[in-house]
Structure 1
Amino acid sequence: MMFGNTIQTLERSLNYSTVKNQTIANNISNVDTANYKAKEVVFRDILDNESGQQFEARRTDSRHIAFGNYNTASHKIVTNQSTTYNHNGNNVDIDKEMAELAKNQIYYQAVVDRLNGKFNSLQTVIRGGN
Structure 2
Amino acid sequence: MIDKLDHAFRFYEDAANLRAHRQQLIASNIANADTPQYKARDINFKDAMESALTGKRGVILVTSAPNHIASPTGAGVAAGQQLLYRTAVQGSVDGNTVDMDVERNQFADNAVHYEANLTFISDQIRQMRTAIQG
Larger radius of gyration: 1
Task: Tell me the distance in 2 between the aligned counterparts of 1:47 and 1:26.
Answer: 24
Task: Tell me the distance in 2 between the aligned counterparts of 1:121 and 1:103.
Answer: 27
Task: Tell me the distance in 2 between the aligned counterparts of 1:45 and 1:20.
Answer: 11
Once the two structures are superposed, residues 46-69 of structure 1 have per-residue CA deviations (whole angstroms, 9 ceiling, x without a partner) of 55544x478xxxxxxxxxxxxxxx
Please, what is the CA RMSD of the aligned residues? Answer: 2.6
* Matching of residue 115 in structure 1 with residue 121 in structure 2: yes
**After alignment, is 32-41 or 84-93 more displaced?**
84-93
Task: Tell me the distance in 1 between the aligned counterparts of 2:98 and 2:79.
Answer: 25
Residue pair 1:49, 1:74 contacting (<8 A) in 2 also: no
Higher-strand-fraction structure: 1
SS in 2 for 1:32: coil
Task: Say if 1:72 and 1:31 are closer, same or farther in 2 by CA, change over 3 A.
Answer: closer
In structure 2, the gaps of 5 or more residues are 57-76
* Matching of residue 125 in structure 1 with residue 127 in structure 2: no
TM-score by length of 1: 0.71
Residue pair 1:85, 1:93 contacting (<8 A) in 2 also: no
Higher-helix-fraction structure: 2
* Matching of residue 88 in structure 1 with residue 99 in structure 2: no
Deviation at 1:3, TM superposition (A): 5.3
One-letter identity of the residue aligned with 2:31: S
Task: Tell me the distance in 2 between the aligned counterparts of 1:101 and 1:45.
Answer: 18
One-letter identity of the residue aligned with 1:110: A
SS in 1 for 2:83: strand
TM-score by length of 2: 0.69
Task: Tell me the distance in 2 between the aligned counterparts of 1:109 and 1:74.
Answer: 26
Q: State percent identity of aligned pairs.
A: 25
One-letter identity of the residue aligned with 2:100: I
One-letter identity of the residue aligned with 1:7: F
SS in 1 for 2:82: strand
SS in 2 for 1:5: helix
